[in-house]
Protein backbone atom coordinates (compact mmCIF):
# COMPACT_ATOMS: atom_id res chain seq x y z
CA UNK A 1 0.00 0.00 0.00
CA UNK A 2 2.85 2.39 0.74
CA UNK A 3 5.21 2.31 -2.24
CA UNK A 4 7.80 4.51 -0.52
CA UNK A 5 7.95 2.19 2.50
CA UNK A 6 8.26 -0.86 0.24
CA UNK A 7 11.07 0.79 -1.75
CA UNK A 8 12.90 1.72 1.48
CA UNK A 9 12.51 -1.84 2.79
CA UNK A 10 13.90 -3.32 -0.43
CA UNK A 11 16.85 -0.92 -0.39
CA UNK A 12 17.57 -1.85 3.24
CA UNK A 13 17.34 -5.53 2.34
CA UNK A 14 19.74 -5.01 -0.58
CA UNK A 15 22.32 -3.30 1.65
CA UNK A 16 21.84 -5.96 4.34
CA UNK A 17 22.57 -8.81 1.93
CA UNK A 18 25.51 -6.99 0.34
CA UNK A 19 27.07 -6.52 3.78
CA UNK A 20 25.95 -9.99 4.90
CA UNK A 21 27.81 -11.61 2.04
CA UNK A 22 30.91 -9.40 2.57
CA UNK A 23 32.57 -10.77 -0.56
CA UNK A 24 32.93 -14.16 1.11
CA UNK A 25 35.06 -12.80 3.95
CA UNK A 26 34.90 -14.69 7.25
CA UNK A 27 36.47 -11.87 9.25
CA UNK A 28 35.32 -8.27 8.82
CA UNK A 29 35.88 -4.91 10.54
CA UNK A 30 33.54 -4.37 13.49
CA UNK A 31 32.24 -1.29 11.62
CA UNK A 32 30.82 -3.62 8.92
CA UNK A 33 29.40 -6.03 11.49
CA UNK A 34 27.65 -3.11 13.15
CA UNK A 35 26.18 -2.02 9.80
CA UNK A 36 24.84 -5.53 9.25
CA UNK A 37 23.05 -5.44 12.59
CA UNK A 38 21.65 -1.95 11.99
CA UNK A 39 20.21 -3.09 8.65
CA UNK A 40 18.88 -6.27 10.24
CA UNK A 41 17.14 -4.29 12.99
CA UNK A 42 15.68 -1.86 10.44
CA UNK A 43 14.10 -4.85 8.68
CA UNK A 44 12.84 -6.32 11.97
CA UNK A 45 11.21 -2.98 12.84
CA UNK A 46 9.13 -3.30 9.69
CA UNK A 47 7.87 -6.63 10.98
CA UNK A 48 7.54 -5.76 14.68
CA UNK A 49 6.41 -2.14 14.46
CA UNK A 50 6.91 -0.28 17.76
CA UNK A 51 8.07 -3.45 19.57
CA UNK A 52 11.57 -2.19 20.28
CA UNK A 53 14.03 0.66 20.00
CA UNK A 54 17.69 0.05 19.24
CA UNK A 55 20.36 2.15 20.90
CA UNK A 56 24.11 2.22 20.33
CA UNK A 57 27.07 3.22 22.48
CA UNK A 58 30.11 2.46 20.36
CA UNK A 59 33.59 3.73 21.16
CA UNK A 60 35.34 5.09 18.10
CA UNK A 61 38.44 2.90 18.52
CA UNK A 62 36.37 -0.31 18.12
CA UNK A 63 35.39 0.22 14.49
CA UNK A 64 38.50 -1.29 12.89
CA UNK A 65 38.78 -4.38 15.10
CA UNK A 66 38.43 -7.54 13.04
CA UNK A 67 35.61 -9.87 14.13
CA UNK A 68 34.11 -13.08 12.77
CA UNK A 69 31.29 -12.19 10.40
CA UNK A 70 27.77 -12.55 11.79
CA UNK A 71 28.42 -12.67 15.51
CA UNK A 72 25.97 -9.87 16.38
CA UNK A 73 22.97 -10.89 14.29
CA UNK A 74 22.26 -14.23 16.03
CA UNK A 75 22.68 -12.60 19.46
CA UNK A 76 20.30 -9.75 18.61
CA UNK A 77 17.89 -12.17 16.94
CA UNK A 78 17.87 -14.11 20.21
CA UNK A 79 17.02 -10.88 22.04
CA UNK A 80 14.08 -10.25 19.72
CA UNK A 81 12.58 -13.74 19.61
CA UNK A 82 13.27 -14.91 23.17
CA UNK A 83 13.17 -11.60 25.04
CA UNK A 84 11.39 -8.71 23.35
CA UNK A 85 8.66 -10.62 21.50
CA UNK A 86 7.72 -12.67 24.58
CA UNK A 87 7.47 -9.60 26.82
CA UNK A 88 4.67 -8.15 24.73
CA UNK A 89 5.56 -4.53 25.40
CA UNK A 90 7.99 -1.99 23.98
CA UNK A 91 11.60 -2.93 24.78
CA UNK A 92 15.06 -1.54 24.22
CA UNK A 93 17.92 -3.39 22.56
CA UNK A 94 21.21 -1.70 23.41
CA UNK A 95 24.47 -2.53 21.67
CA UNK A 96 27.70 -1.17 23.11
CA UNK A 97 31.35 -1.72 22.28
CA UNK A 98 34.57 -0.63 23.92
CA UNK A 99 38.21 -1.54 23.63
CA UNK A 100 40.83 -1.90 26.33
CA UNK A 101 44.09 -3.76 26.87
CA UNK A 102 42.19 -7.07 26.81
CA UNK A 103 40.71 -6.38 23.37
CA UNK A 104 37.24 -5.68 22.05
CA UNK A 105 34.24 -5.97 24.38
CA UNK A 106 30.75 -6.09 22.89
CA UNK A 107 27.63 -5.79 25.03
CA UNK A 108 24.10 -6.61 23.96
CA UNK A 109 21.31 -5.87 26.40
CA UNK A 110 17.58 -6.09 25.96
CA UNK A 111 14.75 -5.23 28.32
CA UNK A 112 12.88 -8.42 27.42
CA UNK A 113 11.76 -11.30 29.63
CA UNK A 114 15.26 -12.38 30.69
CA UNK A 115 16.66 -15.86 31.25
CA UNK A 116 16.58 -18.17 34.24
CA UNK A 117 19.92 -19.16 35.74
CA UNK A 118 19.41 -22.74 34.52
CA UNK A 119 18.92 -21.54 30.92
CA UNK A 120 22.11 -19.47 31.10
CA UNK A 121 24.10 -22.38 32.49
CA UNK A 122 22.79 -24.69 29.75
CA UNK A 123 23.79 -22.28 26.98
CA UNK A 124 27.27 -21.66 28.35
CA UNK A 125 28.03 -25.32 29.12
CA UNK A 126 26.94 -26.79 25.79
CA UNK A 127 29.68 -28.89 24.24
CA UNK A 128 30.80 -28.65 20.60
CA UNK A 129 29.01 -31.84 19.52
CA UNK A 130 25.71 -30.52 20.86
CA UNK A 131 26.34 -27.12 19.26
CA UNK A 132 26.37 -28.48 15.73
CA UNK A 133 23.14 -30.39 16.27
CA UNK A 134 21.30 -27.56 18.05
CA UNK A 135 22.39 -24.68 15.87
CA UNK A 136 22.50 -26.55 12.55
CA UNK A 137 25.89 -25.22 11.56
CA UNK A 138 26.75 -22.49 14.00
CA UNK A 139 24.45 -19.48 13.63
CA UNK A 140 22.16 -19.87 16.66
CA UNK A 141 23.07 -18.52 20.09
CA UNK A 142 25.05 -21.59 21.13
CA UNK A 143 26.72 -21.88 17.72
CA UNK A 144 27.69 -18.22 17.78
CA UNK A 145 29.23 -18.56 21.21
CA UNK A 146 31.18 -21.56 19.94
CA UNK A 147 32.41 -19.60 16.90
CA UNK A 148 33.60 -16.77 19.17
CA UNK A 149 35.37 -19.29 21.43
CA UNK A 150 37.07 -20.83 18.43
CA UNK A 151 38.05 -17.42 17.01
CA UNK A 152 39.53 -16.24 20.33
CA UNK A 153 40.97 -19.68 21.11
CA UNK A 154 39.59 -19.66 24.65
CA UNK A 155 36.39 -20.63 26.45
CA UNK A 156 35.70 -17.62 28.65
CA UNK A 157 34.55 -15.23 25.92
CA UNK A 158 30.88 -14.78 26.78
CA UNK A 159 29.08 -13.78 29.94
CA UNK A 160 25.31 -13.80 30.23
CA UNK A 161 23.65 -11.82 33.00
CA UNK A 162 19.91 -11.66 33.43
CA UNK A 163 17.13 -10.81 35.80
CA UNK A 164 13.93 -12.59 34.86
CA UNK A 165 11.32 -10.09 33.72
CA UNK A 166 13.84 -7.25 33.44
CA UNK A 167 16.75 -7.98 31.05
Q: What is the dihedral of CA 81, 86, 90, 93, to 10 degrees?
A: -40
Low-confidence spans in the chain with pLDDT less than 70: 1, 15-24, 127-139
Question: What confidence tens digit (pLDDT) does each residue in 26-65 have?
Answer: 899 999 999 999 999 998 998 888 899 999 999 999 999 9
Burial group, residue 156, by CB count within 10 angstroms (0-12, 13-18, 19+): exposed
For the entire predicted model, the pTM comes to 0.81
Report pLDDT for 19.
62
Report pLDDT for 62.
98
As a whole number of angstroms, the longest Cα–Cα distance in the chain is: 52
Using the Cα atoms of residue 49, residue 51, residue 124 and residue 122 in order, give the sign of their dihedral. negative
* pLDDT above 70 coverage of the chain, percent: 86
Helix axes 141-152, 117-125, angle to 10 degrees: 50
Report pLDDT for 94.
98
What distances in angstroms separate CA 103 from CA 66, 72, 92, 99, 113, one per listed residue?
11, 17, 26, 5, 30
Report pLDDT for 71.
93
Amino acid sequence: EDAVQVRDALETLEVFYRNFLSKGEREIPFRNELQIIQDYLALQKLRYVDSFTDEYEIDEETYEYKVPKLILQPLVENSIYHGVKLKGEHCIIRIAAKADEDGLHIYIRDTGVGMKEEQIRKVLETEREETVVKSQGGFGLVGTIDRIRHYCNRDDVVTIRSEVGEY
